[in-house]
Amino acid sequence: DSGVTQTPKHLITATGQRVTLRCSPRSGDLSVYWYQQSLDQGLQFLIQYYNGEERAKGNILERFSAQQFPDLHSELNLSSLELGDSALYFCASSPGSVTGELFFGEGSRLTVL
Amino acid sequence: GENVEQHPSTLSVQEGDSAVIKCTYSDSASNYFPWYKQELGKRPQLIIDIRSNVGEKKDQRIAVTLNKTAKHFSLHITETQPEDSAVYFCAAAQGGGTASKLTFGTGTRLQVTL
């Protein structure tokens, strides 16, 4: 158990819909990262937050947005969903003070039909 | 942005043999190079990492080497065991402190056969 909690574990929805994925980081970690892993693909970096502020951005689509709340949990919002958005979405956390190990959650598997 | 290439995409070895996975990166400012192991249906987990001021690091059967001049780093697993079967990802980190971006390679599926 990494200490990072992601909900929901599985989500099935239709094209055009909007979903919210939630992540609670390890206790004490200030940084949260979101990654997308499509079938048989690598881990694509989406975005990083540190203590509530956006700090690094990857190839995140405009249809996607994220935020980190004062209690440090984070949400990833995916809207106008397309079939190609079907993937495993991982959240990871780290203390944030030094580049180092990321602790991944179990992921949220999104299926868009 | 950073581009991390990883080879091979699949690797099959016999139990007890060694396995080597190689990665190259493009951004000379990258300063941290971790390796993650992802078992089927599980989350990625760090197995070893190396920073840019070190050329080699070893942890039991696992070692990583870094060549900053050539911008490549490698994972070496000796005396492979069936439980080593998994997908391995290399990564390179840009930035530091409170703002960092970890770019992953495309992964190597390692199969250790009996």
For A32-66, what is each residue's pLDDT tens digit?
999 999 976 789 999 999 999 999 899 899 999 99
Mean per-residue pLDDT, A89-100: 86
Encode B57-76 in three state secondary structure.
EEECCEEEEEECCCCEEEEE
Mean per-residue pLDDT, A1-17: 96
Task: Tell me what pLDDT residue A100 has.
Answer: 84
CB B15 within 8 A of CB B81: yes
**Closest approach of chain A CAs to the CA of B79, in angstroms?**
25
pLDDT exceeds cutoff 90 at B63: yes
pLDDT band at B39 (very low <50, low <70, confident <90, very high): very high
- Asked if B104 lies within 8 A of A96 by C-beta distance, the reply is no
Q: Spell out the alpha helix ranges (H) of B1-114.
A: none
Phi-psi label, residue B23: left if phi above 0, alpha if psi -120 to 50, beta otherwise: beta
pLDDT exceeds cutoff 70 at B89: yes
Task: Tell me what pLDDT residue A97 has.
Answer: 62
- Asked if A45 lies within 8 A of B104 by C-beta distance, the reply is yes
Encode chain A in three state secondary structure.
CCCCEEECCEEEECCCCCEEEEEECCCCCCEEEEEEECCCCCEEEEEEEECCEEEEECCCCCCEEEEECCCCCEEEEECCCCHHHCEEEEEEEECCCCCCCCEECCCEEEEEC
pLDDT exceeds cutoff 70 at A98: no
Look at A88 and B102; give whichever has higher pLDDT: A88
Residue B6's nearest CA partner among B63, B89, B64, B66 is B89
Among B43, B91, B100, beta carbon nearest to A48 = B100
User: The tokens of B57 are what?
Assistant: 């690091």
Mean per-residue pLDDT, B87-95: 90
Among B34, B99, B105, beta carbon nearest to A50 = B99
Task: Tell me what pLDDT residue A35 has.
Answer: 96
